[in-house]
């Protein structure tokens, strides 16, 4: 049975949850989901009872998730919570309010939240989640702090297997997550469902095969479901070496017009791919992220577009150019240079 962070486990065992916790770490959301099941599931975290299913779909009536709307968590969102806090829990003995990316609280919202944190109703517990603890000190001082250890891949795999994913599904999921458990949050609530994921992946692959380069680029959008987004990123990577100059330029133009988030995601995949090629050249297959793509990686390495000695240099150059992209001069020129660098033959 997966366990919640130690401080929360102890509080659960003693039946004494505090009124507010601040969870700090990239795995805060993942740890919170484990905690919610441990708190509410009658069997302690079975994964398939009606309660667990409601929790997975974010539809448990005693749990409220607060997420930033645009860029901030605004005061109106906190006022709604204040009104909602007057009602006791309906299905259990405790209400939980979760504030995701708590560092996005506006100053007004944080001050308004402070009042609720000072005198919450006895049935209410707050969990503030953040990867970076940039919060008002007054808020931090009212919370018990939980610093989360980096969630290992082995632990994450175990937690997902416990949710019922097959080993093939786990292969795809772990490749998508890399070392970022927070990527799970890109799925809509309740997704992915064990037994349905591979079908979504296969469907995405056959849809994407019909598209030309610029249309493929559009599927990198964060509005797309993760199976389509990742498959599009990889399809684009595998097509690049065979393209003519004018096709590369069309793709560069499409990439340069993407939202920074979508282009950033593709760059992460691009770097991960080069990293995997390097690891494969050292025979370290157990460390490879795109473990569901081993045959493709082997083929790419066998084609010898880059020698193992060149890969670290390319990776360093890509890392550097990623910083360029973030500080950003002329995005289109920058993407063109990147694609030509990638497609140029071995030096």
Minimum distance from CB of 44 to Zn ion (Å)? 8
Nearer to Zn ion, 96 or 300 (CB): 96
Give dist(CA 312, CA 316) in Å, integer.
6
Minimum distance from CB of 151 to Zn ion (Å)? 21
Nearer to Zn ion, 1 or 46 (CB): 46
Residue from 46, 215, 287, 308 touching Zn ion (CB under 5 A): that is 46
Q: Contact, 24 vs 145, CB < 8 A?
A: yes
Nearer to Zn ion, 43 or 245 (CB): 43
Which residue in 322, 27, 314, 24 sits closest to 177, CA to CA? 27
Minimum distance from CB of 270 to Zn ion (Å)? 40
Residue 52 interacts with Zn ion (CB under 5 A)? Answer: yes
Nearer to Zn ion, 31 or 290 (CB): 31
Residue 49 interacts with Zn ion (CB under 5 A)? Answer: yes
Beta bridge partners of 129: 23
Residue 41 interacts with Zn ion (CB under 5 A)? Answer: yes
Minimum distance from CB of 114 to Zn ion (Å)? 34
Residue 208 interacts with Zn ion (CB under 5 A)? Answer: no
Part of the chain binding Zn ion (CB under 5 A), chosen from 38-46, 97-105, 199-207, 315-323: 38-46
Minimum distance from CB of 39 to Zn ion (Å)? 11
Minimum distance from CB of 189 to Zn ion (Å)? 17
Nearer to Zn ion, 50 or 69 (CB): 50
* Tokens coding 95: 């209400």
Beta bridge partners of 66: 99
Residue 342 interacts with Zn ion (CB under 5 A)? Answer: no
Using CB under 5 A, count the residues that bind Zn ion: 4
* Tokens coding 200: 């979504």
Q: Which residues bind Zn ion (CB under 5 A)?
A: 41, 46, 49, 52
């Amino acid at each position: 049975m997966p366990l919640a962070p130690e401080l929360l486990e102890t509080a659960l065992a003693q039946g004494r949850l505090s009124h507010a916790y601040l969870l700090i770490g990239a795995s805060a959301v993942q740890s919170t989901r484990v905690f919610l099941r441990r708190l509410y599931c009658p069997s302690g975290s079975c994964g398939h009872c009606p309660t667990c299913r409601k929790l997975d779909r974010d539809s448990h009536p005693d749990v409220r998730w607060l997420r930033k709307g645009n860029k901030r968590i605004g005061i109106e969102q906190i006022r709604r919570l204040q009104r909602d806090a007057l009602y006791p829990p309906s299905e259990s003995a405790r209400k939980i309010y979760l504030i995701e990316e708590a560092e996005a609280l506006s100053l007004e919202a944080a001050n308004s939240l402070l009042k609720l944190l000072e005198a919450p109703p006895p049935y209410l517990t707050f969990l503030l989640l953040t990867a970076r603890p940039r919060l008002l000190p007054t808020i931090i001082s009212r919370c018990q702090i939980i610093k989360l250890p980096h969630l290992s891949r082995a632990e994450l795999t175990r937690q997902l297997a416990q949710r019922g994913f097959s080993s093939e599904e786990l292969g795809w999921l772990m490749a998508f997550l890399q070392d970022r458990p927070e990527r799970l949050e890109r799925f809509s609530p309740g997704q992915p469902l064990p037994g349905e994921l591979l079908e979504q992946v296969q469907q995405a692959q056959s849809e994407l095969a019909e598209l030309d380069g610029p249309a493929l680029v559009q599927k990198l959008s964060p509005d797309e479901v993760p199976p389509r987004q990742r498959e599009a990123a990889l399809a684009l990577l595998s097509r690049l070496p065979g393209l003519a100059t004018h096709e590369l330029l069309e793709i560069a133009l499409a990439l340069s017009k993407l939202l920074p988030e979508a282009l950033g995601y593709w760059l992460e995949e691009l770097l991960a791919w080069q990293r995997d090629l390097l690891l494969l050249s050292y025979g370290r297959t157990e460390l490879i992220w795109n473990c569901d793509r081993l045959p493709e990686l082997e083929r790419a390495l066998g084609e010898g577009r880059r020698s193992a000695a060149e890969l670290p240099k390319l990776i360093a150059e890509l890392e550097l150019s990623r910083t360029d992209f973030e500080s950003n001069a002329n995005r289109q020129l920058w993407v063109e240079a990147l694609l030509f660098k990638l497609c140029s033959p071995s030096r």
